Amino acid sequence: MIPRDPWEFVAAALSLRLPAAETMLRLNPRQRAALSETFRELANLVAAALVIGQVVAEQPPSLWLILMGFGIWVGFVWFGVLLEGD
């Protein structure tokens, strides 16, 4: 029989008593702006890796990878703008 850590269960039980708003991560406006900018930069890196990477690798362009890169780029940019919020 493997002994279990009693604190594992205590932490889980205590977190269930808190309202959802108290367990969520709170970011100040400066942190939100930095995270938003990071997601937009990540979007550009993903697009570059999936689209421009095909040219560097001297492969024929794959429409599927181009569309997937564009979709991921839109998703990350959208999430970054959503984080920035007004």
Average pLDDT over residues 50-77: 85
pLDDT tens sequence across 13-53? 666 666 655 556 777 888 888 888 998 999 999 888 887 78
Model pLDDT, residue 18 = 60
Tokens of 4: 């279990």
Amino acid at 1: M
**Domain range annotation of the chain:** 27-84
Residue keyed to tokens 């969520």: 24
Q: Give the Cα separation of 24 and 1 in Å (integer).
A: 36
Q: Give the Cα separation of 13 and 7 in Å (integer).
A: 10
pTM listed for this prediction: 0.60
Model pLDDT, residue 20 = 57
User: Residue 82 — very low, low, confident or very high, per pLDDT cuts 50/70/90?
Assistant: confident
Q: Compute the mean pLDDT over every residue in the chain, rounded to the nearest whole number.
A: 78
